[in-house]
């Protein structure tokens, strides 16, 4: 089973969100990891753009915080490890997520975490850095605000590890280490980072406190910001990282299977507010097409029509199953060619000095 997200083209154009949708699609089609929400298909029709992704029934961590779930140190320790593997994977693809927070971390039915929402993620190559103000204020690293106010070289992957630290602290304590909200002025936030000290609960073990302190180091150069850094933390010395990757460790919190792990009131409001519900699409599109054929039809303004046509042409259609089949066929072809090549190679080696090592012989025979 999958989950489907759909976005109205006209609304995206009016809100200037098309670029974000395309960026998310571009990034997600190249990713496949056990701790991400993976894209399976993308397609479009006249009205909407569709993304089909992993179905995760455990709800997001924000919902569970609002339900006053008490996350144990053991549960948060495993979350940190799973998320560290996901962030390291993103880093390999030069991706900064820029919005790691409980709202964007979904649980599967067994309680493992999955990062979602890549629409403000960015790709940086080599020594490149990002410089735009992007993210959710309470989870944004100090250097993001500093770049915005003071300019400078920009920021990079360490911002996601700061967000991981804020998220882990909030899961353990029920509130964040800094009293920052979306309306908090930036100069006030920067002053907070300068003068306030983070308070760690005396009930937390020393290893967890030491790990959080390293994730919440204000200087990005000194912050833990790679999988290697996290794995070298004494607190995680006993972790079996292969077992973490394979989801072989049991999470400390498993969502209830007998209930809806989201706010039904909010979901119902979303359905009521949806002006173009999906279940009425077929009838609506047929009506629109019949209108288009009449003389008194009211056409969309020229600029909007042009934008819609651009979206239609540039939209990325994706099919992961088809891609996997093609990759499987390619690997089979390469394997067949490899076997044929090795047989030819064996015949060539038969004509060479049998005392010469195989790899040396192959170079000598092919020249």
Beta strand extents in the chain (DSSP E only): 2-8, 39-44, 48-54, 95-96, 105-107, 113-115, 122-123, 318-319
Q: Which residues are catalytic?
A: 99
Q: Beta strand 318-319 with 39-44: parallel, antiparallel or unpaired?
A: antiparallel
How many residues comprise the chain? 367
Query: Are 87 and 164 in contact, with CB atoms under 8 Å apart?
Result: yes
- Alpha-carbon gap, residue 326 to 82, rounded angstroms: 30
DSSP 155: B
Closest CA to 107 of 83, 77, 143: 83
First-to-last alpha carbon distance for the chain, in angstroms, is: 55
Q: Would you give the DSSP letter of residue 178?
A: S
**Nearest-angstrom CA–CA distance, 217 and 213:** 6
Note the Cα 63 to chain centre separation in Å. 19
Q: Are 89 and 33 in contact (CB under 8 A)?
A: yes
| Complete edge-to-edge strand list for the sheet that includes strand 39-44 | 2-8, 48-54, 39-44, 318-319
CB atoms within 10 A of CB 102: 18
Please answer whether residues 201 and 168 qualify as being in contact, where contact means their C-beta atoms are separated by less than 8 angstroms: no
Residues 142 and 148 sit within 8 Å (Cβ to Cβ): no
């Amino acid at each position: 089973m999958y989950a489907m997200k759909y976005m109205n083209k006209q609304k995206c154009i009016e809100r200037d969100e098309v670029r974000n949708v395309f960026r998310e699609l571009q990034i997600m089609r190249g990713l496949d990891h056990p701790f991400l929400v993976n894209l399976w298909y993308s397609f479009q029709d006249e009205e909407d753009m569709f993304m089909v992704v992993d179905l995760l029934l455990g709800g997001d961590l924000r919902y569970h915080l609002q339900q006053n779930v008490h996350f144990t140190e053991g549960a948060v320790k495993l979350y940190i490890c799973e998320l560290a593997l996901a962030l390291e994977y993103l880093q390999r693809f030069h991706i900064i997520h820029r919005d790691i927070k409980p709202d964007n971390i979904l649980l599967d039915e067994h309680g493992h975490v999955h990062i979602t929402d890549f629409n403000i993620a960015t790709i940086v190559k080599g020594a490149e850095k990002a410089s735009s103000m992007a993210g959710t204020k309470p989870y944004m690293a100090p250097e993001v605000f500093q770049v915005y106010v003071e300019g400078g070289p920009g920021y990079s992957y360490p911002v996601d590890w700061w967000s991981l630290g804020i998220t882990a602290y909030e899961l353990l304590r029920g509130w964040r280490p800094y009293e920052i909200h979306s309306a908090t002025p930036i100069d006030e936030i920067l002053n907070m980072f300068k003068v306030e000290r983070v308070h760690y609960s005396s009930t937390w073990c020393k290893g967890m406190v030491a790990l959080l302190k390293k994730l919440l180091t204000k200087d990005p150069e000194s912050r833990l910001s790679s999988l290697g850094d996290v794995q070298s933390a004494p607190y995680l010395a006993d972790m079996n990282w292969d077992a973490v990757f394979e989801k072989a460790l049991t999470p400390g919190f498993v969502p209830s299977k007998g209930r809806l792990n989201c706010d039904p009131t909010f979901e119902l409001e979303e359905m009521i507010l949806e002006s173009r519900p999906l279940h009425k699409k077929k009838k609506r599109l047929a009506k629109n097409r019949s209108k288009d054929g009449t003389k008194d039809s009211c056409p969309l303004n020229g600029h909007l029509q042009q934008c819609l046509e651009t979206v239609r042409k540039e939209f990325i259609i994706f099919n992961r199953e088809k891609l996997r089949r093609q990759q499987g066929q390619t690997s089979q072809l390469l394997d067949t060619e490899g076997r044929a090549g090795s047989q030819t190679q064996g015949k060539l080696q038969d004509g060479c000095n049998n005392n010469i090592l195989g790899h040396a012989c192959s170079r000598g025979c092919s020249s």
